[in-house]
């Protein structure tokens, strides 16, 4: 795992500038640093290395091809790189290998097959920049599911790229202007969705895309998709089938191979273990292929409703792992908050960013690589919205739009006044009913989904001068047969890369830990789309098929319990120990002076939250994380 950065402009390339850009992301690669420049072309590439495969200098980057035509900087891991070496040899390629790093394999593949064919062959997580001196072209590419980040764009007269925004802002000609449309999107989803970034003119390269830059960095091509997930989903659903036993066997085999490939490393290896289905499945597959106890890590909280450590310990005991747990106090968790703007680099407001960072920090004390169970919910329908949402929409959508809006307002009023039974004893129920009341007015199923996952649904009225730009969730043609399938696709295109994988990448890289996500092996993703929906959601539960695989390794009695998630009592903290901090950032005069937000709706939400009338913690956390980021920028 590493960090990459670079630029291309009219002025001659300055290696010191590139070095400063990479120094901003040293945490991504503390073991080695390198810079390469082409003074005539004005190109500079920089790299920070976290040594994982081939710890020798043979893995140093930027890496230049023997012919001198290509120069590569690369962040990630190619899990099939030994297979690729065998394929290159079979095709008669004469390669004098200097070491056994996957970087060298990737560069040789790009030289031999070209960019398009190489991307089709890769199994891994990656973001890379390839300079082709003969064609005077810079290629940027990102992995299929978006595990590794890549920002790029023109700033003034210079083209910039990097793993994180902080690398771009280190360029001396940087002029950052906040994109108010992106800010409105952020406030709605609590992250800035692809292809936007918080800065105007700077984009995130979408997952599974490659872009070519030419003409001294002035010509930026249209990003080209090399693995079309919507089409893969449509084709998979069209030919879905198989018996439960057949699919369980196939999934077990695919998981074993995906996990096994991600266990290959020259440094200490472990896994995050929350005790949930996804991480338990990954750890079970690891332990089944390991000759010694796998190192597993979990964190616990003293608040009962937020603690899964006991479940993780029970799974670890059953599987026989070398388990480490750490109970975090509220003060220790809150102490992370001042560092979040630097860790996440652009506004990001999924509060589970805190425990994700804490478990990464714990694991890094013992290992350099940790496997994660992320992705199971998106592949196999694990969220409540996947299980309950389609049925709710099927009933609600029968009503005329006007009547839906009326009942939505009525439900919202009853929720506010406490007119729904047991709502006071189940705060999560109130949150879900508030979202449902807004979503009832949606025009169609995808709109219903977007409203369910929105926080400030009226964010364009909160952000001064901001309006909603269309995201991938609006542009994707929904040719899938049912809302559940559509929800899964939208999650894979949006929430998964923009929230979940961003969270994991930044939290792990902040402590120089490489996190690998075996459930997002593209073969598993393609398989999941061939699984009939009836084998994903069954008997009112999601992830049915994944559960059947896990039950081969862990007894159901150890696993069957309500989904808890990776949350923190942020709402209580905002009324208590974080109140003064939040009050300062949400001060009306301060908001007016900054000129990004209309203070009135924010202050109204803050007042209602403090009074206990409603739980606005998710909405307020989004504003607070932007305010904290703005203060640190």
> What residues act catalytically?
2
Token pair belonging to 426? 């189940």
Residue among 97, 95, 130 at smallest CA distance from 112: 95
Q: How many beta carbons lie within 10 A of that of residue 180, not counting itself? A: 18
CA 506/CA 233 separation, integer angstroms: 28
- Angle, nearest 10°, between helix axes 522-530 and 244-262? 170
Per DSSP, 455 falls in state S
Q: How many beta carbons lie within 10 A of that of residue 457, not counting itself? A: 16
CA dist list (Å): 508 to 5, 344, 446: 19, 11, 32
CA 628/CA 633 separation, integer angstroms: 9
Token pair belonging to 489? 């696709």
Do you find a cis peptide bond into 457, omega within 30 degrees of 0?
no
- Using alpha carbons only, give the angle 326, 271, 127 rounded to the nearest 5 degrees: 120
Could you tell me if 214 and 136 are in contact, meaning their C-beta atoms sit under 8 angstroms apart? yes
Half-sphere exposure of residue 3, counting CA atoms within 13 Å on the CB side?
Answer: 32
Pairing type for strands 63-64 and 70-78 reads antiparallel
Main-chain phi, psi angles of 164, to 5 degrees: -140, 160
CA dist list (Å): 128 to 47, 62, 125, 452: 10, 11, 10, 35
Could you tell me if 174 and 164 are in contact, meaning their C-beta atoms sit under 8 angstroms apart? no
What DSSP string runs through 352-389? THHHHHHHHHHHHTT-SEEE--TTHHHHHT-SHHHHHH
């Amino acid at each position: 795992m590493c960090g990459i950065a670079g630029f291309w402009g009219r002025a001659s390339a300055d290696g010191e500038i590139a070095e400063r850009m990479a120094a901003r992301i040293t945490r991504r690669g503390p073991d080695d640093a390198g810079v390469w420049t082409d003074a005539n072309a004005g190109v500079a590439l920089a790299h920070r290395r976290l040594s994982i495969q081939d710890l020798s200098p043979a893995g140093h980057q930027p890496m230049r091809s023997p012919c001198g035509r290509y120069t590569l900087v690369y962040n990630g891991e190619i899990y099939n790189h030994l297979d690729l070496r065998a394929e290159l040899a079979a095709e008669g390629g004469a390669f004098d290998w200097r070491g056994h790093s996957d970087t060298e394999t990737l560069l040789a593949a790009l030289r031999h097959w070209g960019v398009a064919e190489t991307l089709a062959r890769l199994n891994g997580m990656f973001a890379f920049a390839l300079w082709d001196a003969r064609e005077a072209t810079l290629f940027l590419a990102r992995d299929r599911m978006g595990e590794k980040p890549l920002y790029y764009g023109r700033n003034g007269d210079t083209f910039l790229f990097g793993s994180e925004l902080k690398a771009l802002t280190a360029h001396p000609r940087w002029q950052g202007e906040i994109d108010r449309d992106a800010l409105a999107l952020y406030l709605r989803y609590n992250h800035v969705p692809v292809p936007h970034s918080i800065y105007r003119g700077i984009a995130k390269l979408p997952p599974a895309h490659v872009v070519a830059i030419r003409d001294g960095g002035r010509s930026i091509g249209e990003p080209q998709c090399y693995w079309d997930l919507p089409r893969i989903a449509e084709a998979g659903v069209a030919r879905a089938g198989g018996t439960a036993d057949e699919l369980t066997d196939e999934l077990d085999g695919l998981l074993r191979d995906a996990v096994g490939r991600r266990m290959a490393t020259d440094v200490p290896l472990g896994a995050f273990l929350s005790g949930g289905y996804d991480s338990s499945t990954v750890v079970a597959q690891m332990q089944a292929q390991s000759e010694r106890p796998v190192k597993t890590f979990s964190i616990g909280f003293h608040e009962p409703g937020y603690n899964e450590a006991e479940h993780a310990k029970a799974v670890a005991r059953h599987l026989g792992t070398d388990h480490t747990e750490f109970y975090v106090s509220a003060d220790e968790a809150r102490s992370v908050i001042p560092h979040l703007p630097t860790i996440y680099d652009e506004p990001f407001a999924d509060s589970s960013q805190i425990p994700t960072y804490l478990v990464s920090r714990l694991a890094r004390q013992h290992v350099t690589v940790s496997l994660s169970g992320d992705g199971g919910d998106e592949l196999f329908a694990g969220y409540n919205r996947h299980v309950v949402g389609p049925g709710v929409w099927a009933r609600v959508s029968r009503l005329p739009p006007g009547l839906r809006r009326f009942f939505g307002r009525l439900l919202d009023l009853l929720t506010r006044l406490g007119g729904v039974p047991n709502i006071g004893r189940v705060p999560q129920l109130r949150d879900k009913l508030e979202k449902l009341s807004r979503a009832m007015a949606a025009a169609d199923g995808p709109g219903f989904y977007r409203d369910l996952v929105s926080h400030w649904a009226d964010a364009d009225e909160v952000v001064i001068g901001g309006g909603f730009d269309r995201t991938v969730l609006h542009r994707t043609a929904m040719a899938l047969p049912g809302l559940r399938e559509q929800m899964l696709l939208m999650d894979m295109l949006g929430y998964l890369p923009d929230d979940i994988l961003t969270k994991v990448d930044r939290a792990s890289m902040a402590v120089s830990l490489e996190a690998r996500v075996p459930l997002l092996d593209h073969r598993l993703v393609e398989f999941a789309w061939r699984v009939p929906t009836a084998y994903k959601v069954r008997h009112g539960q999601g992830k049915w098929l994944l559960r059947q695989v896990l039950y081969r390794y862990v007894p159901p009695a150890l696993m069957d319990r309500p989904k808890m998630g990776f949350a923190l009592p942020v709402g209580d903290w905002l009324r208590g120990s974080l109140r003064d901090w939040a009050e300062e950032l949400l001060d009306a005069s301060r908001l007016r002076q900054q000129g990004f937000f209309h203070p009135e709706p924010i202050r109204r939400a803050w007042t209602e939250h403090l009074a206990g009338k409603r739980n606005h913690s998710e909405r307020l956390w989004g504003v607070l994380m932007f305010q904290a980021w703005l203060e640190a920028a």
